[in-house]
Structure 1
Amino acid sequence: MESFGALKGTSPIAETRDFSIEKSEQEILKELEAAALKGERVNLHFVKRYMRFPWRGDTKYFVTRVEVRQE
């Protein structure tokens, strides 16, 4: 599992990446939407799949956990 998120001293553009969320992980989607509405920065924990299948998502990267940054 890897992590991706708000790193101090870096440009948000430098850390842009596309992610997918499994249909069974609707709670993750709700957490991301809530953080976006509040303007919170988050760390995303994800797994990288080695192949992309259209019925599973648009990317090889699947979010497994959202961690709101406490700054």
Structure 2
Amino acid sequence: MTEPDPSVTLTLSSDEALVLFGFVQRFSDTDRLAIDDQAEQRALWNLCCLLEKSGFVFEGTYEQALLAARERLRDES
């Protein structure tokens, strides 16, 4: 069995991309994660739907895969 491609490609509208960029940039600048406008909520919902539809594959249970992904993404200590 071949390993699945480790990348996931998503397509966002330019409006979704701009709203999500502003949301993430604000969090990066303030360490505050909050919805300031309903458009941010809509963009996040749309992103979640895209991720669900992307069909990415993981081994084991969702919880196991999530823990492993978090471990891989953490900064080295």
Normalized per residue, the structure richer in helix is 2
Q: TM-score, normalised by structure 2?
A: 0.29
Max Rg structure? 2
Structure number with greater CO (CA < 8 Å, separation at least 6) is 1
Normalized per residue, the structure richer in strand is 1
